[in-house]
Amino acid sequence: MASNNYSNMTPRQKMINLMYIVLTAMLALNVSTDVLNGFRQVEDSLARSTENASEQNRTLYGELSEYNRTNPEKSGEWYSKATDVRKRTEALVSYIDSLKLLIVQQADGRDGDVNNIKRMDDLEAASHIMLSPAKGQGEKLRTSLTNYADFVTPMVNDSIKRKIISDYLYPVALNKDGIIKKKTWEEETFEGMPVAAAITVLTKLQSDIRYAESEILHILRNNIDEGDVRVNRMDAYVIPVSKTVMRGSSYSANIVLAAIDTTQAPTIYIGDKELPKEANGLYEFVCNQTGVFDYTGYLEVAAGDGSILRHDFTSSYTVIEPSATVSATMMNVLYAGIDNPISISVPGIPNNAISATMSNGTLTRSGNGWIARPKGVGSDVTISVTANMEGRIQTVSQNVFRVRQLPDPMPFIAYKDDKGNVQRYKGGKPFSKGLLLKAPGIEAAIDDGLLNISFKVLSFETVIFDSMGNAIPEVSDGANFSERQKTAIKRLSRGKRFYISRVKAIGPDGIERNLSPIEVIVN
């Protein structure tokens, strides 16, 4: 009897693991509401997966108990070990539950509820419970996890499974190169961590513990029949480390045959190409292109009568661009009357499987991004994102953005410098009379390094003072200098100044504005 619980993990569970990794990395950025809600979603999914694993484990315990009742001589040893595993697992899971409650109560008060956290962004509660000298629960948790790992890993004979379970359970803080960090595991895990992330970390630990428990129970159940040579079915399995990988990273999968004779390894073919014997069933390559990809192959193994049995298999993997969240690229707000660039991504989901809609406006694709165009100022917009996850359409986020009116532009006189480059004179310093007379009129635009939007100048006045100090206003010809204005400017001598005022302009949002004046100093 052979089993591999890791291969039975659903695509949703694997996706959740990837989401957890990405969201944890985002803690290096500002902790936004979107990120906290993302942790909430991952924590809920992990909790459901953990409960499903617990239900499966209860079924395995029932089978072991029944084996012990009907044949205690054969199964007694394995049933006793299963009972010990169950006791230790329940104790550790319950202890982690108590840590969750302590952290939430530290953040929300004595009446704090793990299922309804109010201060998800509290950065002090987890550190206080897990790292403070008075509490010090982090070191205790690390010791408990280490003791549990020391207890269960020797029960795993398969080296690959033993390494997987060891990597899941042993609390060691490693850097990207796999070298142990100077910080302790608990400092690396909980220091400065918001409550939402800390609860998700603890729930993931519980999920890993339940996964390890399930693997051990499968092994103990199979040990009851160890030595029996009765196999009525042989199947090929593909066991990927993850079915979703980032572009540029490696896709890894173990291809195995259940109930295989350990004295002879099967011959493995990917397509029609044989996998090298020294690979020991590990199929690995670098992914440089995004998308969803399928591959097929087969195993060949010799039967007892000398014939060759063939077992086909098929699998798929998804390569995605590194991505994390939904964000407006311009100050986290949308402006009415213009196209607002928006980037939308969902961890673990390719762009072609993502859809989005927007209230109070339109949202359209533009290359790898999106363009949001709100209808008007005064009403917020909600961007709803859905994703096709293994054939299921699921809403993954709803993000609310404020809609603002475009800020007022600055009026200026456009001219070319001695290199032929267009420059903008905005007043307040000497300006060549020759360049001034060449300019047809004035323009207006928002040019603040973030927005670069042109406005249409409707009219303006020039105010020039005569020799007696009298102000003489002249009206423009739309956005251009009128003939009377040009004549008055020609009469100005060097060092004289005049003002361009009462500038009226209209932008792409249709709103007419009165702009600030320009002081022109004739050089």
**pLDDT tens-digit series, residues 178-218:** 555 578 888 888 888 888 888 888 888 888 888 888 888 88
**pLDDT for the residue numbered 332:** 72
**pLDDT for the residue numbered 190:** 85
Q: In this structure, are 196 and 243 located in the same domain? A: no
Specify the CATH number for the domain of residue 364.
2.60.40
How high is the mean pLDDT of the chain? Answer: 80
Q: In this structure, are 376 and 516 located in the same domain? A: no
Give the strand pairing for 291-302 and 410-416: unpaired
Q: In this structure, are 483 and 513 located in the same domain? A: yes
Residue 229 has pLDDT above 50, yes or no: no
Tell how far CA 278 is from the center of its chain: 37
List Cα–Cα distances, 206 to 68, 97, 187, 202, 518, in angstroms.
Answer: 28, 9, 19, 6, 67
What is the DSSP secondary-structure string of 388-416? EETTEEEEEEEEEE-EEPPPP-EEEEEEE
Mean pLDDT of 294-305: 79
Which alpha helices (H) appear in 153-251, and where do they start and end?
159-169, 185-190, 195-223
Q: In this structure, are 206 and 285 located in the same domain? A: no
**pLDDT for the residue numbered 121:** 83
Q: In the listed set 168, 194, 228, which residue is the last one of a domain according to the structure? A: 228
Q: In this structure, are 366 and 268 located in the same domain? A: no
Specify the CATH number for the domain of residue 257.
2.60.40.680
**pLDDT for the residue numbered 174:** 55
Q: What angle do CA 411, 414, 418 make, to 5 degrees?
A: 145
More confident residue, 395 or 322: 395
Coil vs helix vs strand at 27: helix
Q: In this structure, are 331 and 381 located in the same domain? A: yes
Residue 349 CB partners (closer than 8 Å, separation 6+): 318, 320, 387, 388, 389, 396
Q: 411: which 2 tokens?
A: 């009026």
Mean pLDDT of 262-272: 79
Residue 495 CB partners (closer than 8 Å, separation 6+): 521, 522
C-alpha 91/C-alpha 97 separation (Å) is 10
Q: In this structure, are 89 and 198 located in the same domain? A: yes
Coil vs helix vs strand at 236: strand
**pLDDT for the residue numbered 345:** 84
Mean pLDDT of 291-312: 79
Q: In this structure, are 462 and 509 located in the same domain? A: yes
- Could you write out the three-class secondary structure of 312-339? EEEEEEEEECCCCCEEECCCCCEECCCC
Residue 172 CB partners (closer than 8 Å, separation 6+): 180, 185
Q: In the listed set 404, 430, 447, which residue is the last one of a domain according to the structure? A: 404
How do residues 482-521 score in pLDDT, each as one tens digit?
Answer: 999 999 999 998 989 999 999 999 988 888 999 999 999 9
Type of residue found at 478: G
C-alpha 385/C-alpha 344 separation (Å) is 8
Total domains present in the chain: 4
CB 396 within 8 A of CB 346: yes
Q: 372: which 2 tokens?
A: 């949001």
Q: In this structure, are 421 and 383 located in the same domain? A: no
Mean pLDDT of 313-329: 64
Q: 324: which 2 tokens?
A: 């994390």
**pLDDT for the residue numbered 80:** 87
Q: Which domain holds residue 491?
A: 410-522
**pLDDT for the residue numbered 459:** 95
**pLDDT for the residue numbered 443:** 94
Residue 111 CB partners (closer than 8 Å, separation 6+): 105
Q: In the listed set 322, 338, 371, which residue is the last one of a domain according to the structure? A: 322
Q: 384: which 2 tokens?
A: 């709803």
Tell how far CA 76 is from the center of its chain: 48
Q: Which among 372, 359, 375 has a CA at the least distance from the CA of 326?
A: 372
Lowest mean pLDDT, pick from 72-76, 188-192, 218-222, 448-452: 448-452
Residue 443 pairs in a beta bridge with 412
More confident residue, 139 or 288: 139
**pLDDT for the residue numbered 29:** 45
Q: In this structure, are 439 and 462 located in the same domain? A: yes
Confidence band (pLDDT; 50, 70, 90) for 108?
confident
Confidence band (pLDDT; 50, 70, 90) for 232?
very low
Q: 445: which 2 tokens?
A: 């635009």
Q: In this structure, are 181 and 309 located in the same domain? A: no
Q: In this structure, are 193 and 109 located in the same domain? A: yes
How do residues 151-182 score in pLDDT, each as one tens digit?
Answer: 988 888 778 888 888 887 888 765 555 555 57
How do residues 337-352 score in pLDDT, each as one tens digit?
Answer: 888 888 888 877 788 8
Half-sphere exposure in the Cβ direction for 179 (13 Å, CA): 3
